[in-house]
């Protein structure tokens, strides 16, 4: 058995993408993988309850507790480095990832975005706003993207995408839920499983899946 892929999962809120990872490891759809720890930038969120129920170590590192963002960033990287992880997973993480962390973990940080990048992404595009804009534009297809994180926002090499049809009468909340159920909770575990089993190589902006 080859060495398990060790994950640090960074969260900010409900943790439904974290739950999809926990469930994937439990049901065997994600192999060769273990969650070393969950790190939340917010106390008292659903993701922490999910980690506790799964017996996964969890830490809260809130920028508000530090005298500056730079000091927080250093503490965050020290915590992650201390865990000895192979991959950092941003699962509903609304934290600005410091460039120093991206440089320390090149093509070892992945993020899930609730749209088909390069659509509806970048500064200010997170949570419901993404779906509000998709509905406003009248797109017939939206979906989710898992990508490697680089120095720019939502701009790293794309690993997987999954399309979801917009339906008559969709509200942003209904659409968000469908994108989570039909896309996010499927491609995030699938991407982790591919990485854990050595199926991914990156060449510039191209991600090759063997």
- Based on the shown chain and the rule CB under 6 A, indicate whether residue 15 belongs to the binding site for ligand GRF: yes
**Which 142-171 positions form the footprint of ligand GRF (CB under 6 A)?**
none
# binding residues, ligand GRF (CB under 6 A): 15
Q: Using the rule CB under 6 A, is 183 a contact of ligand GRF?
A: no
Residue 184 touching ligand GRF (CB under 6 A) = yes
Among 7, 9, 21, 91, binds ligand GRF (CB under 6 A): 91
Smaller CB separation from ligand GRF, 74 or 172: 172
The piece of 15-23, 27-35, 95-103, 189-197 that touches ligand GRF (CB under 6 A) is 15-23
**Residue with the closest Cβ to ligand GRF?**
92
Q: Is position 127 an interface residue for ligand GRF (rule: CB under 6 A)?
A: yes
Q: Is 16 in the site for ligand GRF (CB under 6 A)?
A: yes
Find all residues with CB under 8 Å of 16, minimum gap 6, and list them.
46, 92, 180, 184, 185
Q: How far is CA 147 from the centre of its chain?
A: 9
Residues in the chain: 210
Catalytic machinery residues: 113
Residues that bind ligand GRF (CB under 6 A): 11, 13-18, 47, 91-92, 112, 114, 127, 180, 184
């Amino acid at each position: 058995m080859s060495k398990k892929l060790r994950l640090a999962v960074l969260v900010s809120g409900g943790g439904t993408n974290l739950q999809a990872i926990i469930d994937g490891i439990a049901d065997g759809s994600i192999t060769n993988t273990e969650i070393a720890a969950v790190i939340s930038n917010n106390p008292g969120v659903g993701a922490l309850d999910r980690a506790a129920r799964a017996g996964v170590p969890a830490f809260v590192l809130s920028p508000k507790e530090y005298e500056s963002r730079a000091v927080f960033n250093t503490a965050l990287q020290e915590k992650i480095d201390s865990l000895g992880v192979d991959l950092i997973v941003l699962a509903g993480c609304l934290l600005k990832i410091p460039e120093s962390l991206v440089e320390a973990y090149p093509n070892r940080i992945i993020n899930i975005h609730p749209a088909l990048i390069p659509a509806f992404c970048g500064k200010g595009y997170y949570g419901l706003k993404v779906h509000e804009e998709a509905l406003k534009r009248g797109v017939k297809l939206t979906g989710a993207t898992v990508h490697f994180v680089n120095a720019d926002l939502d701009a790293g090499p794309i690993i997987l995408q999954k399309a979801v049809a917009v339906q008559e009468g969709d509200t942003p909340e209904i659409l968000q839920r469908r994108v989570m159920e039909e896309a996010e909770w499927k491609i995030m575990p699938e991407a982790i499983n591919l990485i854990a089993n050595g199926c991914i190589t990156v060449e510039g902006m191209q991600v090759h899946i063997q």
